[in-house]
Structures are given as C-alpha cells and as structure tokens.
Amino acid sequence: MSDRKDSAILSVRGLKVHFDTSQGVVRAVDGVDLHVKTGETMAVLGESGSGKSVMALAIMRLVPIPPGRIVAGEVHFEGRNVFQMGANEVRRLRGSTIAMIFQEPMSSLNPAFTVGEQITEAIVLHQGIKGKEALDKAIEMLKLVKIPSPEKRVHEYPHQLSGGMKQRVMIAMALSCRPKLLIADEPTASLDVTIQAQILELMKELRRQVGTTTLLITHSLGVAAEMADRATVMYAGQVVEVAPIRDLFHDARHPYTKGLLKSVVNMKEGTRRLDVIPGAPPNPTRLPEGCRFHPRCAKADKRCCTEEPNYVSVGEGRWVRCWYPET
Amino acid sequence: MLRYVFTRLIYTVVVILGVSLLVFVITHVIGNPVNVMLPLQASEEERAQLKHQLGLDKPLSTQLKEFLAGMVRLDFGKSWWQQEPALQLALRRVPATFQLVIMAFTVAALISIPLGIIAAYRPGSIIDRFLTTTSLVGVCLPSFWVGLLLVITFAVKLGWFATSGYGTYRHIVLPVVTLAILPAGHMAQIMRFSMLDQLNQQYVTTARAKGLDEATVVFKHALKNAATAVLTMGGMDLGRMLAGETAAVEMVYAWPGFGSLILETIARQDFPLLQASVFVVAVIICLINLAVDLSYGLFDPRIRY
C-alpha cells in the first residue's frame, strides 16, 4: 500500500489500539492502514465494534489512556508523526488543522454554554481574534451551515435547538478554523431520514465551497455511496478492503464486503428476502485465529483458519485482505 | 423569577408556621416547665401560682391564640429564665454560630471540592482511593465523639488549643475541624461522583477535539455541569450543620451559639426562648434553600424560574 504515500495528507500505518478491560484485552483496532489523499472524501465502512470510531479518536490522540493503549503504529499528518508530537503541539493541531464531528449531536455540545460561546472558543484559541469579532465569525459560520436567524441562535443554549440544528452547530464549530482534515464520525446516524439528507447535502455543498479533505466514518453503505470518493472497509479491528467507491459497489472482492452489499434493500430487483451474513462479529477479546472473517465466510478453507492473510493488490488503487481475492 | 421568589417566600411562611406549631404542640403536651423551674419540695400552691404566672393554666387554644398573635408581631414573649425578650436573646447567639458554620463550611469546600475533582480525573489512583476511603469514614463519624477525641488529643495532651470557650484562634480551630468533617466527606463524594459522570460525557471529547487544554476542559466545561450536584449537597449540609450538627459541637466546646442555646432551652423548658430559637433557625434554613434553588440557574441554563 505504498503507492499513495506521497499524495496522502493522512497516513495511518499498522495502528493497534487495545483496551484493558475486566473481560480481558479488547483489540479494538488491530493493525489498520489508511491513506487519505488531499481533497478526497474517504469513507471508513464497518459495523458497530469494527474499530472505526476508536481509529478516528486515535488519529487525534483522543483515545482515553488508560484503559486504552496505543500498542503499535504511526499516524502521519502532512508528513509529521502525530504520535511523536508534544501535548501542546497536538492541541494546536486539534480543532484548527484537524476537526471532528461526532455521532450524537445531542450530547456532543456542552449543555451549560451557549452555541456562540462554544463556537468562539475554538476561534479565539486558534485564530487569535476576540470578543465581538469572534462572535461575528461564529454568526458567519452559523450562516454558512444554514441556520436561520443566526444572530439570535448564537445566544441560545443547545437544549433550545433540534437535533439537526445541533449537528449543524457541530459542523459550524468544526469548520470554524478552516481545518485541512475533517473527521466525521457517523455524522447522521442519530438523525431521522429527512434531516440526514439535509445534513449530507450541506456537507457536500460545504466540501465544494471549502474543499476540506474528509474522513467519513459510517456504517451506512448509502451514506458512503452518496458522499465518498473511496472507501476503506473494516472488520474486527482490521482493514479488509480498500477501493474507489464505484469499484466497491460494482466489484467487491472481500467476502465480507460482498455480504454487506447483498444485505442492502434493492427495489429494482423486486421483493426478496434480504441476504444476511451468517453469525455475528467476533468477541473483541477473543478474536479468531487466521483470517478474522473465516468463521462467517462461505469460502473459508483450512488456510483461512490458521494463517492471517495480508493485503493483496487487485487492481489500480485496490487492496483486499483475503487469501482468495480473485473469486 | 420574581414570581418564583414570591411564591417561595409564601411557602417559607407556611413552613415556619408549621414548624412553630409543631414545637408548640410538643412542648405544651409533653413538657412540664413548672417541675423544672421549682425545687422538688415545692408545694402544690407554689406550683399552681407559677403555672398561672406563666399563663400555662389557660386552655391550650387560648395559649395557642396568644402565641400566634405574638408571632405575627415577632414577639415571642420574655424568656422565663433570663427575663429578656426571647427573640433578642436568640438573635444574639446567631453571629457565633454563623462564624463557626461559615468557617467550617469554607474549610470543607476548599478541601473536598479540589480533592473530588482530582480523584475523578484519575479514578483508581492513589489520591482517588485515599479520598474514597477517608470521605466515607468522615461521613460515618459522629461529631460529638470526634469533638471529644480532638479535645483529648490536641487540647488536653498536646495543649495546642483551648478545650472550650470562645474568643481566639485557640478556641475556634477544634470546633471548626469537628464541624467540617461531615460536609467535607459529603461534598468530596458528590464532587467526585458528579465530575466522573461529566468527564465521561461526549461534550468533553468535543472540547478536547477543539484543542482546549485539560484545565479548561475540566474546570470550565465539566465543572460547570458538575456544580449543581455539589450545590445541592452543600445547601443541605449547610442546613444540617445549622440545625443539628452545631448543637452537638457547641455543647462539646461550650461555644455560645444558638445550637447550644436550643439544647439549654430544651433542658430548661424555656418555651418562649425555645420558640424564638426554632423560629430563627427555620427562617435561616428556608432562606438558604431558596438561595440554593435560585443559584441553580447560574450553572444550568435549562432551569428557568
């Protein structure tokens, strides 16, 4: 996976993040490689517990330690190793160069401070402007994310806003310092469908206007198809497939990705029972030997049960972690 | 807001009336001040005479009417033992108790709140385990017993402080420490618990993701949300200290506050002074509760009055 290192704004290499729990060591992220090119939107696809959110937190060094541990790996942002930065340097990066939006807009904003106070906080910190000027900037950001009467809303508290409005505020906050990389962790998962569409539309429009590189973490194939240029599929803490988004939908190679695609409703094919991937994701404290997916894979043979596959190139910019990528 | 304060003040009047009635009924039904005031060998005539003098021979309903009529004018009559207006006597004892309670509360808050925050920031650390254990012990220790232990150790054996009395630092340190133990334990526990809860909230991660330093994350973002719980506990403790804890501590250290006054008047069955003291305590506690309830709005914008 070395061919795109040069153009990558963000490179995650061999990242392992483990958590010590009373049930044992949870290998949440267990050898993840990820390369995001400047200007693109990279989707990270995976079901709950596949380690995608932990990976996102690790990029910003926000994994709580303890119980978390960064066991191995590097995160390079614009060529600099984030894991080797001092605490102050990382803080300067957070919010200004790399910004993050979270899944739960309801709980992601502090209930005790006004929207304006929370947006201006980052502006004051990273851009050195204060008072009225910072507030004007906050209002401008609220306008950008299409919040009606922003001059009034800026003085309101989170509980006075709807879920969709809160997520707009989160986006405004994240974009307020013009970050180079935006990490959006399930930005629409907790919103209802119409609001979801509005937020996705807003994010697309902002991407056209601002041109921020985006790492979009989602479990929804629909959201990935709508938003992303490329996708990385994660399973049980590992990357199983990387492909441009069109290739992924038309010609997925990993059995897990194929299974995911088959489990989506497709009205064109008429009514049929949805396919499901048999079994359940493995217990993260007792991951299977060999290929992590083998207990649920129809094509698994002896080798899959004992030996862990490595990445195999299967075409231009396409990688898959499987012993039988051609079938 | 003004409407809320007004309604609450009306409730306060009702509460104080209720408390006063309760005290009136209990004292007049089970009390017998004449026996306390006269020597054992006093004759029946002398007893009847004193009873008449104190107005205790009138029907209970008449006595109640007179008491209520007086209370409306803030007149509780003269103390039977000291022959001075009861309310004045009670109010005169307020500053000493306030001095003790406010100092003890400040000491308790200054120690317990920072410790609670530190413990919550590093759960399971040595400081956290130390605090969890000591605060539990602090909450469980009866203050009169702690008071006696402190007197024996620091006043009698070491001679650092006075055993009892009022005036200099030598007198005030031990009662303040004794009184501070319970609220310090409470507030440390609540602070730790509440802070631990807030630090696990998603908005804390948001704050860190903005690039804020840990001090701002903890002391600005999390503390403002954690404050209401401590405020509730602090308010309750302040009330509990004024109404009960001080009585024991003031007795141990012979501190001239109204805690010891109430105990003395109960022992002497000095009804007017007892009524006046209870009235004063009730008013103070109601005002503290009102102040606590009003200050919630400062920390939590979701609360409206």
Residue B219, chain A, CB below 8 Å: the answer is: no
| Closest-CA distance of chain A to residue B224, Å | 7
Integer CA distances (angstroms), B189 to B84, B122, B180, in order: 45, 14, 14
| Closest-CA distance of chain B to residue A87, Å | 9
Q: What is the 3-state secondary structure (H, E, C) of B220-251?
A: HHHHHHHHHHHHHHHHHHHHHHHHHHHHHHHH
d(CA B175, CA B164) in angstroms, rounded, equals 9
CB proximity list for A84: less than 8 A, separation 6 or greater? none
State the average pLDDT for chain B. 86
Q: Lowest-confidence range among A106-115, A296-305, B17-26, B258-267?
A: A296-305
Residue B209, chain A, CB below 8 Å: the answer is: yes
* Residue type, position A54, single letter: V
A304 within domain boundaries: yes
CB B218 within 8 A of CB B241: no
A300 within domain boundaries: yes
CB B211 within 8 A of CB A91: yes
Q: What angle do CA A246, A248, A249 make, to 5 degrees?
A: 70
Q: Are residues A126 and A172 in the same domain?
A: yes
**Domains identified in chain A, total number:** 2
Domain B94-256: which CATH number of 3.30.70.20, 1.10.3720.10, 3.40.50.300, 1.10.357.10:
1.10.3720.10
d(CA A320, CA A310) in angstroms, rounded, equals 8
Q: CB burial class (10 A; 0-12, 13-18, 19+) of residue B167?
A: exposed
A227 within domain boundaries: yes
Residue B202, chain A, CB below 8 Å: the answer is: yes
DSSP string spanning A14-63? EEEEEEEETTEEEEEEEEEEEEEETT-EEEEE--TTSSHHHHHHHHTT-S
Q: Are residues A218 and A89 in the same domain?
A: yes
d(CA A102, CA B211) in angstroms, rounded, equals 15
The pLDDT value given to residue A44: 92
d(CA B65, CA B75) in angstroms, rounded, equals 13
Reply yes or no: is the peptide bond before residue B142 cis, omega within 30 of 0: no
Q: Are residues A313 and A230 in the same domain?
A: yes
A216 within domain boundaries: yes
pLDDT of A180 strictly over 80: yes
Q: Are residues A301 and A229 in the same domain?
A: yes
At A34, give phi and psi (nearest 5°): -155, 130
3-state secondary structure of B1: coil
Q: Are residues A103 and A73 in the same domain?
A: no
d(CA A229, CA A245) in angstroms, rounded, equals 6
Q: Are residues A93 and A109 in the same domain?
A: no
CB A126 within 8 A of CB A175: no
Nearest Cα residue in chain A from B300: A112
Q: Show the domain range for A28.
A: 8-97+211-321
| Complex prediction ipTM | 0.82
Mean pLDDT of the A247-260 span: 82
Q: What is the domain-level CATH number for residue A277?
A: 3.40.50.300
Q: What is the pLDDT of residues A101-160, one digit of tens each?
A: 888 888 889 988 999 899 998 888 888 888 888 888 889 888 888 888 888 888 999 988
The two tokens of residue B196 are 């631990």
A197 within domain boundaries: no
Interface test with B, best of A96, A97, A110, A118 (most B CBs within 10 A): A110
The two tokens of residue B99 are 């001095």
Q: Using 50, 70 and 90 to split pLDDT, how confident is the model at A6?
A: low
CB A186 within 8 A of CB A45: no
Q: Are residues A223 and A312 in the same domain?
A: yes
A1 within domain boundaries: no
Q: Which of A261-270, B149-158, B218-227, B293-302 has the highest mean predicted lDDT (pLDDT)?
A: B218-227
Q: Using 50, 70 and 90 to split pLDDT, how confident is the model at A270?
A: low
The pLDDT value given to residue B46: 82
Asked if A102's CB is within 8 angstroms of B206's CB, the reply is: yes
Q: Compute how many other C-beta atoms are within 10 angstroms of the C-beta atom of residue A304.
A: 23
Domain boundary among A135, A161, A178: A178
Q: At what angle do helices B143-150 and B169-199 cross, to 10 degrees?
A: 130
State the residue for tokens 């100092």.
B103
The pLDDT value given to residue B107: 94
Nearest Cα residue in chain B from A89: B211
A326 within domain boundaries: no
A167 within domain boundaries: yes
Q: Are residues A84 and A116 in the same domain?
A: no
